[in-house]
Chain A
Amino acid sequence: MPIPSPFHERTQALCSSYRWKDWSGYCAVCSFDVSHEREYFAFRQSAGLLDVSPLYKYEVTGPDAAALLARMMVRDVSQLKVGRVAYTCWCDDGGKVIDDGTVARLASDHFRVTAADPTLHWLQAAGRGFDVTVEDSSTRLAALALQGPTSRAILRAAVTGADLDALKFFGVTRATVGTVPVWISRTGYTGDLGYEVWCERGDALALWDALIEAGRPHGIEPAGLDALDVTRIEAGFILLGVDYFSAKKVVLASRKSTPLELGFGWMVDLERGRFIGRDAIAAEKERGSVWQLVGLEVSWEELEALYESFNLPPSLPATARRDALPVYNDEGLQVGQATSHTWSPLLKKYLAIASVHRGYEAKGTKLQIEHTVEYERRKVTATVAPPPFYDPERKRKP
């Protein structure tokens, strides 16, 4: 049975829909109201406040902290300056991805790693022989994501002891909110201007109250996971357990993915010396990848025509979906699957994240995606478009 998060007292009072789900063993709000629409638009128009405490968090400290993480991560995080964060993935020896997350350098010998899955054992296994201490801070720390165009104005009003305007995209700083000491990183999962705020568990409610109070004039809304799921697809972020599976968890080898297949190639520097999975990735680079992660835009005109042929108005699920749909080439051969899909209320497009066989990944390639109307399985055209689908300037603007 899932347990309450440090913010539960506040979120459960607001969750009039009673719509919850299990996120890493915690009760997490799907949407506060019956529809997630208002929360979605808060992320894009003002600011949404989301409890992200269930994320796994680890403090890696000690003289060899940088060296250990440089070995474990695909990205060379030892080059990270203090006060910077990197998004990265990590692999097993065979170059298959275990998980993806962020690494923040809080001090020269202190890194914070976030992960979707429990990672302590892997940090310990990879860290054998290194002079480091690994602490699982997952339950000690509470975290909130404050995402959306007014998030900076809200923090400016709420924060002392930090210059928000100097905090660059993927920067991290210490600060105080009210009386609560926090870490603030300019990161998030919505692809918009946004921050994540970390505090000690006991301070959670005070942090929540201070942000809500400061946020009221700026249109802050508590938001849940349904709204997040739409924004993360718009932003082209993949999700472990949905768009790919951890190499440590699957039974079939064919279900594993590599960084190159997942579009993480830009993280990889093969020249920098050894890291876990390096040789396998180098070999794959020679050979070419089998799969490629792509974005798809489904033709609305064809969908409309399809529904029209049933004498129905077009209708799509109200929330983002994770039921995988087969993707075909123009000869009707299945060449991949769409693993996340959603209607984007902002872009007025039906978007999908998919994995396709090599040869079908070029931008503009026309594929077919399955779509069921009145229990009949049909196909409509879906065009390959490289994610992100939505990438506002404000996200990285100083």
Chain B
Amino acid sequence: MTGTKYDAIVVGAGHNGLVCAAYLAKAGRKVLVLERRHQVGGATTSEEIHPGFTFSCCSYVVSLLRPWIIRDLDLPRYGYEILPLEATVTPFPDGRCLVRDSDPERTRRSIAKLSPRDAEVYKRFGQEMAELGRLIKPLIDDVAPDPLSRDPRELLRLGRLGKHLRGQGDEWLFANAKIMTMSAVDFLSEWFESEELIAPMAVSGIIGTFLGIRSPGTAYVLLHHYMGEIDGSFRAWGLPKGGTGAIANAMARSARDLGVEIRTEAPVAHLLMEKGKAAGVVLGNGDEIRAQVVISGLDPHRTFLKLVGEEHLEPELAQQVKRFKMRGSSGKVNLALDALPRLACLPEYGPHLQGGITIAPSIDYLERAYDDAKYGAFSRKPFMDVLIPSLTDPTVAPPGKHTMSIFVQYAPYHLKEGAADWPNQREAFGDAVIDTLSEYMPDLKDHILHRQVLTPWDLEQIYGLTEGNIFHGELSLEQLAFLRPMAGWSRYQTPVKNLWMCASGTHPGGGIMGVPGALCARTLLGKRAV
């Protein structure tokens, strides 16, 4: 038992938990953050896995972190810096490649080699997507709309939003309806003819989902990627200096300066429930800490089934929670390299390496990768998003040496042999990744000093991501906006009194964005719940 009484306890120091705590402290509340691991950040973390090499173990690039949060919490002062990614290179098995970068003319020439027609359309496509993204931006910067509300204020807000959207004209509405329902490939095929261009563009639609690029609904996820905002204006993705962990550290420093108390290695065993209400938490060591409200920074499964416990839940609620789809589908391989490997298609050193290398050579390739996963196996030839962060940010590796981050899909949590078989298949999965990548980087294997393989099972064990889902629940349409995490409970409050939620399992969802945390705090303060 400790004596201090807190206004709020945040469980989990993921980036959303930290943002939520900081906003509450900024409003004068006394806040305690409890983190299970030895460091803050959750899936927004960087660790020295091999001496001298700092890996951003999970998330590796940032685009959706809202500028208003960056400003409100003064993050640049605490070490937050984003470096732009230069390019996206897509190598093909026959030695050709596609390079898209910040120079529109160079990009046009590169695409023209695949299709002169697509080269012309490409820029226009980017503009239209950015435009679509901009128009739905009010949806992600504010609490989810509540279509059932009778509250006049909410009706007014819905009306404004409706007007805002209708004001964009019919064309926009049609485009929007399409993007909400189509598959990424179908949507892109309306614009482009070259499969070799469509494939690497379509992968944005499947990141973190258990869907294929031909599955309906994946077009919408594409849009998320065009919403990435680096400089306040719509821009490409960027690399945080010092790794994504530096973002969480900046948030933690800002929060501490605002008065937040953060304890690491302090796992919460379960909530302290009194008369069906949350009264505080019980730590793994048995300590009880009380607070007016408890805010869970964990995913919906862990929040309800572990922190609260099924015995405290109405059976139907428990059912609803279990229906919320987690089913992780991706893994990560991080490498320490003693030298820069060469790309077979562009062997010389150049700025093109300071961006993403996308292994997505054709639509069939990606669909086949999905086939493996459908039947409970990792993809033998997976989709990979590869980055060499040390080229842009030399602080993460010793001089002349490099780190490589490989995001891999598909790696289904539920293997045919069961999730618990992942430790037996981990190295085979790592081998499949390195073997496939070596087809495009023939000297890769000569340079590997250390390799870290994270399967969805590892993501669950190490980072507490249920079923290894990178977004605390799939970003599919039936799990977004007023349906996230459950119909009727999208506004951070939960059916358990005094328990709130602030992480990626709530609106507007996963990714390093900070919005769930910020909006949860805003809602709590607005309702004077704390």
* Residues of A near any B CB (own CB < 8 A): 33-35, 37-38, 41, 44-46, 149-150, 153, 157, 216-219, 300-301, 304, 311, 313-316, 343, 345-349
Contact = CB atoms under 8 A, between A and B. Distances in A.
A288 B82 CA distance: 43
20 contacts: A34-B105, A38-B84, A38-B351, A38-B354, A41-B83, A45-B81, A45-B392, A45-B395, A153-B399, A216-B400, A217-B394, A217-B399, A217-B400, A311-B167, A313-B134, A314-B233, A316-B233, A346-B76, A348-B231, A348-B232
Given A38-B351, A45-B83, A314 B400 contact: no
B232 to A, nearest CB: 6
A35 B102 contact: yes
A362 B394 CA distance: 40
Interface in B35-88: 67-68, 70-71, 76, 81-84, 86
Contacts of A45: 81, 83, 241, 392-395
B362 to A, nearest CB: 30
Contact of B231 (A33, A219, A345): A345
Contact of B394 (A35, A44, A219): A219
B394 A46 contact: yes
Nearest to A214: B399
Given A38-B86, A348-B232, A218 B134 contact: no
Given A41-B84, A150-B394, A217-B394, A300 B102 contact: no
Contact of B71 (A38, A300, A314, A345): A300
Contacts of A44: 81
B94 interface: no
B84 A348 contact: no
B391 A219 contact: yes
A343 B394 contact: no
A313 B130 contact: yes
Given A45-B394, A346-B76, 9 more contacts: A34-B102, A38-B351, A45-B241, A46-B393, A157-B399, A219-B394, A311-B167, A345-B84, A348-B231
Contacts of A41: 83-84, 392
Nearest to A149: B395
Interface in B266-299: none
Interface string B77-112: 000011110100000000000000011010000000
Contacts of A153: 399
Contact of A34 (B84, B103, B167): B103
B365 interface: no
A33 B86 CA distance: 11
B6 interface: no
Interface in B117-145: 130-131, 134
Q: Which interface class (under 10, 10 to 19, 20 to 34, 35 or more) fits B?
A: 20 to 34
Nearest to B135: A311
A257 B234 CA distance: 40
Contacts of B399: 153, 157, 217-218
Given A150-B394, A218-B394, A313-B130, A348 B103 contact: no
6 closest A-B pairs by beta carbon, nearest first, are A217-B399, A217-B400, A219-B394, A34-B103, A41-B83, A347-B76
A348 B134 contact: no
A153 B397 CA distance: 14
Contacts of B231: 343, 345, 348
A46 B103 CA distance: 22
Interface string B388-411: 000111110001100000000000
A369 B103 CA distance: 32
Contacts of B102: 34-35, 37
A149 B392 CA distance: 13
Given A300-B71, A313-B130, A314-B232, A219 B84 contact: no
A271 to B, nearest CB: 37
A217 to B, nearest CB: 4
Given A38-B351, A41-B84, A313-B233, A348 B76 contact: yes
A218 B401 CA distance: 10
B103 A35 contact: yes
Interface centre among A45, A150, A218 (most CB of B within 10 A): A45
A157 B399 CA distance: 11
Contacts of A316: 233
A314 B231 CA distance: 10
B392 A219 contact: yes
A218 B134 CA distance: 38
Contacts of A313: 130-131, 134, 233-234
A2 to B, nearest CB: 25
A46 B392 CA distance: 8
A191 to B, nearest CB: 14
Nearest to B231: A345
Interface in B348-407: 351, 354, 391-395, 399-400
Contacts of B232: 300, 304, 314, 343, 348
A346 B81 contact: yes
A46 B83 CA distance: 11
A217 B349 CA distance: 13
Nearest to A41: B83
Contact of A33 (B130, B233, B351, B394): B351
Nearest to B391: A219
Interface centre among A33, A41, A219, A301 (most CB of B within 10 A): A41
B254 to A, nearest CB: 14
A348 B234 contact: no
A191 B417 CA distance: 58
A347 B80 CA distance: 9
A313 B226 CA distance: 13
Contacts of B392: 41, 45, 219
Contacts of B394: 45-46, 150, 217-219
A386 to B, nearest CB: 15
Interface centre among B76, B130, B234 (most CB of A within 10 A): B76
A122 B41 CA distance: 59
A29 B167 CA distance: 46
A22 B400 CA distance: 36
B52 to A, nearest CB: 13
A271 B393 CA distance: 49
A267 B241 CA distance: 36
Nearest to A40: B84
A348 B233 contact: no
A346 B130 CA distance: 22
Contacts of B81: 44-45, 346
B67 A300 contact: yes
A305 to B, nearest CB: 12
Nearest to A44: B81
Nearest to B230: A345
A87 B81 CA distance: 29
Nearest to A312: B134
Contacts of A46: 393-394
A393 to B, nearest CB: 11
A336 B355 CA distance: 43
Contacts of B354: 38
Contacts of A315: 233
A348 B130 contact: no
Nearest to B82: A345
Nearest to A35: B102
A252 B70 CA distance: 44
B71 A348 contact: yes
B127 to A, nearest CB: 10
Contacts of B393: 45-46, 219
Contacts of A33: 103, 351
Contacts of B230: 345
A299 to B, nearest CB: 10
Contacts of A34: 102-103, 105
B101 to A, nearest CB: 9
